[in-house]
């Protein structure tokens, strides 16, 4: 007789129970997840809910967060620009008031006391303008340019010095454009002088440790570091220059590559020019260099071409002037340097540069004088520029006792190439032209004569400066007039640049007992404008330096108006007032610039908000719950759960006989 296990009757029940429990558990899990989704409003609450959707949501969250930050930046930028605009509005109102004061004091009805009282008003305006120029918004200086952590304007030597730098602090608009949210003091107020631009190319040479980054390249576009191909008598050698940092790195790599075929070849910096490479193959060897794929290092380093046996040089690769450049690398500069004379705001300093070894040494020596002068390297990287930072001061760079340091460096402020139009604070030199006979109305050359020179032996000659545009033109015209009058140049007379200081110097070699003098003709102001209208018992007239460099700024013009009012100088008041009139449209233009920037920021805000809305909508499509679909699924799961519970209860009551039936 067959026997059955004692629990055989429970097997179907256990199986049914396990199946029912699994189905019920799965339904309950789905129902629980759906309840969580409906409670949070999100279809994805955990990465396990949907891995792909989670990845998309993470990316979109990052994008939206960055957009929020950019919107905060733009909001700050907009507020900063509004403050800049408001400040410029205050400046504009102030200049209109100053103009009104100046115009009211030009007439003969004003006396010294009235003008002195108005000078006090202008002084208060200068103080207020300085305060406005040093305004900040949330610790960001509005008119410091890119230097926003310190006040850009300070009182120095009875003037106002600008120490800001750059065009302005920029903000990211999100489309690869940067908009300055602060403004340069130069743009707003004209706070720096435009001269003295170096008048000669210093043409620096290379040395072994010259950085590749400090080479302008044969094309003037810098140097691209690539692998080049070197053909040595038909054998190709690839030379990798991608890791070169200095000129010596190029020399070493190139020489090593060539010497794999021509052991006697030499690569070096051209000892004559210092601005190109020299390749010296052995006898009978030809080296051809080119780039492997298009233009690259070979072209930029001036090496593209064929180098025959003997000395062959490449093209000029234009080493740039940097603060690290040694003075011995500068063309036409003899070291050690001598002494130059710098003056500004009435202070005169003689600066001994004999200990200077680099451009930076010169910069530091000038900065140490602390008279509102600084030196920069021009954008082209080939000359020095002296800049007057001090509104209200007049800068000059002169030679000392016949020296030529300033001339060698190309920074003397009074040279043969100085434009006469730069004289007298930009008013130029008044030269007579087009003179006519008052009776006949016909041209009369005698009425174009500007001044007469009388030598110590009583010889005289008249000078016509018509057509003179530079100091050298004026000097040549004076010497030519002397020669025409039969006076030996340079034996008896010579016009030249002053050997000590700045100005036009007139030398008398006649040995006479009278005075050497210059007097105006036909009412011309040319001699006075040149600074040589004077008389002396000595043999030399040294003219005044009328080409000093002043800052053409709002501060300078207000200071000039104040000083003219205090001096009861009607002509000075008129000149200062006319210059203030030119400042008003300059400030208006600066406000227009701010308006353009504000519009760009406003447009960027609108664009960012639209993009954020799109990104948020996309994230919502991926992350947020569709309540209609969820409600249907919820009802379905509830029905499924109820059916499962019913089925389970029936399954648990079955026996083996139920299955056998």
Output the domain CATH number for residue 382.
3.30.70
The per-residue pLDDT for range 398-451, each reduced to its tens digit, is 999 879 999 999 999 999 999 999 999 888 999 998 887 777 778 888 889 999
Give dist(CA 37, CA 434) in Å, integer.
94
CB burial readout 49-63, b (16+ within 10 A) else e: ebeebbebbeebeeb
CATH value at residue 216 = 2.60.40
Query: Is 150 within the bounds of a domain?
Result: yes
Q: Domain check: are 566 and 536 in the same one?
A: no
pLDDT confidence tier of residue 619, bands split at 50, 70 and 90? confident
Residue 530 shares a structural domain with residue 566: no
Tokens of 355: 């200990």
Sheet holding 312-313, edge to edge: 266-269, 277-280, 312-313
SS3 69: helix
Taking residues 230-248, report their average pLDDT.
94
Residue 649 has a pLDDT of 65
CB-count burial class (<10 Å; 0-12, 13-18, 19+) for 507: middle
What does the pLDDT look like over 326-370, one tens digit per residue?
Answer: 999 999 999 999 999 999 988 999 999 999 999 999 999 999 999
pLDDT score of 243: 93
Q: Is residue 661 part of a domain?
A: no
Instruction: Please tell me the total count of domains within the chain.
Output: 4
298/230 same-domain check: yes
| Boundary (domain end) residue, out of 610, 633, 654 | 610
pLDDT digits (tens, 9 = 90+) for 193-223: 655 778 889 999 999 999 999 999 999 999 9
| 216 and 147 within one domain | no
What local confidence, expressed as pLDDT, does residue 46 receive? 72
**pLDDT class of 494 with cuts at 50, 70, 90:** very high
List the structure tokens of 150: 């310190």
Q: Identify the pLDDT of residue 250.
A: 96
The C-alpha atoms of residue 80 and residue 559 are separated, in whole angstroms, by: 29
DSSP 438: T
Residue 374 counted as domain residue: yes
31 is a domain residue: no
The answer to whether 258 touches 287, Cβ cutoff 8 Å, is yes
Q: Does some domain include residue 264?
A: yes
Structural domain harbouring 331 = 327-413
Residue 480 has pLDDT above 80, yes or no: yes
Beta bridge partners of 137: 140
* Rounded distance between C-alpha atoms, residue 648 and residue 251, angstroms: 89
Same domain, 524 and 601: no
- In this prediction, residue 4 carries a pLDDT of 47
Q: How confident is the model at residue 19 (pLDDT cuts 50, 70, 90)?
A: low
Q: Which residues contact 598 (CB under 8 A, 6 or more apart)?
A: 78, 81, 82, 85
Do 179 and 92 reside in the same domain of the chain?
yes
Q: Is residue 252 part of a domain?
A: yes
In a domain, 518, yes or no: yes
Angle at 45 between CA 44 and CA 51, to 5 degrees: 55
Judgement on whether residues 538 and 451 belong to the same structural domain of the protein: yes
């Amino acid at each position: 007789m067959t026997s059955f296990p004692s629990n055989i009757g429970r097997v179907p029940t256990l199986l049914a129970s396990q199946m029912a429990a699994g189905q019920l558990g799965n339904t309950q899990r789905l129902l629980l997840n759906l309840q969580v989704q409906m409670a949070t409003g999100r279809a994805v609450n955990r990465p396990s809910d949907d891995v792909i959707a989670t990845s998309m949501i993470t990316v979109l969250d990052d994008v939206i967060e960055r957009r929020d930050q950019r919107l905060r930046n733009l909001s700050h930028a907009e507020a900063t620009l509004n403050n800049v605009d408001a400040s410029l509005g205050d400046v504009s109102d102030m200049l209109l008031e100053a103009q009104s004061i100046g115009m009211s004091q030009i007439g003969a009805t004003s006396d010294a006391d009235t003008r002195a009282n108005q000078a006090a008003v202008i002084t208060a305006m200068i103080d207020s303008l300085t305060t406005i120029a040093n305004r900040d918004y949330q610790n960001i200086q509005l008119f410091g340019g890119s230097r926003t952590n310190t006040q850009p304007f300070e009182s120095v030597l009875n003037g106002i010095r600008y120490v800001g730098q750059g065009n302005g602090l920029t903000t990211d608009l999100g489309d690869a454009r940067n908009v300055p949210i602060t403004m340069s003091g130069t743009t707003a107020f004209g706070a720096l002088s435009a001269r003295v631009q170096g008048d000669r190319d210093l043409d620096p040479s290379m040395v072994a440790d010259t950085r590749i980054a400090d080479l302008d390249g044969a094309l003037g576009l810098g140097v691209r570091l690539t692998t080049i191909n070197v053909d040595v008598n038909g054998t190709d050698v690839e030379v990798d220059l991608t890791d070169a940092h200095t000129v010596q790195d190029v020399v070493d790599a190139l020489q090593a590559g060539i010497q794999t075929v021509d052991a006697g070849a030499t690569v070096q910096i051209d000892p004559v020019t210092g601005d190109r490479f020299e390749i010296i193959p052995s006898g009978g060897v030809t080296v051809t260099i080119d780039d492997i794929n298009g233009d690259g290092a070979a072209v930029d380093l001036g090496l593209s071409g064929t180098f025959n046996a003997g000395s062959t040089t490449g093209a000029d690769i234009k080493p740039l002037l940097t603060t690290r450049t040694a003075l011995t690398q500068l063309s036409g500069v003899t070291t050690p340097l001598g002494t130059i004379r710098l003056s500004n705001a009435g202070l005169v300093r003689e600066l001994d540069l004999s200990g200077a070894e680099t451009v930076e040494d010169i910069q530091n020596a000038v900065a140490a004088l602390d008279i509102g002068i600084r030196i920069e390297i021009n954008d082209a990287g080939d000359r020095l520029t002296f800049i007057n930072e001090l509104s209200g001061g007049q800068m000059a760079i002169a030679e000392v006792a016949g020296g030529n340091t300033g001339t060698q460096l190309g920074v003397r402020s009074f040279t043969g190439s100085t434009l006469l139009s730069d004289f007298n604070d930009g008013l130029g030199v008044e030269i007579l032209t087009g003179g006519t006979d008052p009776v006949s109305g016909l041209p009369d050359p005698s009425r174009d004569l500007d001044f007469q020179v009388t030598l110590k032996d009583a010889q005289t000659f008249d000078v016509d400066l018509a057509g003179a545009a530079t100091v050298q033109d004026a000097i040549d015209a004076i010497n030519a007039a002397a020669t025409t009058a039969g006076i030996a140049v340079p034996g008896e007379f010579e016009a030249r640049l002053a050997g000590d200081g700045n100005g036009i110097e007139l030398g008398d070699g006649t040995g006479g007992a009278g005075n050497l003098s210059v007097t105006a003709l036909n009412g011309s102001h040319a001699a006075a404008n040149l600074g040589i209208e004077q008389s002396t018992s000595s043999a030399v007239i040294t003219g005044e330096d009328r080409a000093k460099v002043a800052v053409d700024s709002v501060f300078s013009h207000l200071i000039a108006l104040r000083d003219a009012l205090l001096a009861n100088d009607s002509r000075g008041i008129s000149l200062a007032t006319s210059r203030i009139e030119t400042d008003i449209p300059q400030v208006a233009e600066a406000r227009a610039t701010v308006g353009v920037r504000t519009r760009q920021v406003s447009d960027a805000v609108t664009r960012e908000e639209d993009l954020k809305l799109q990104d948020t909508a996309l994230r919502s499509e991926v992350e947020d719950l569709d309540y209609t679909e969820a409600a249907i699924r919820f009802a379905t799961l509830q029905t499924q759960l109820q059916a499962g519970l019913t089925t389970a209860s029936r399954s648990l009551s079955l026996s083996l006989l139920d299955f056998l039936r």
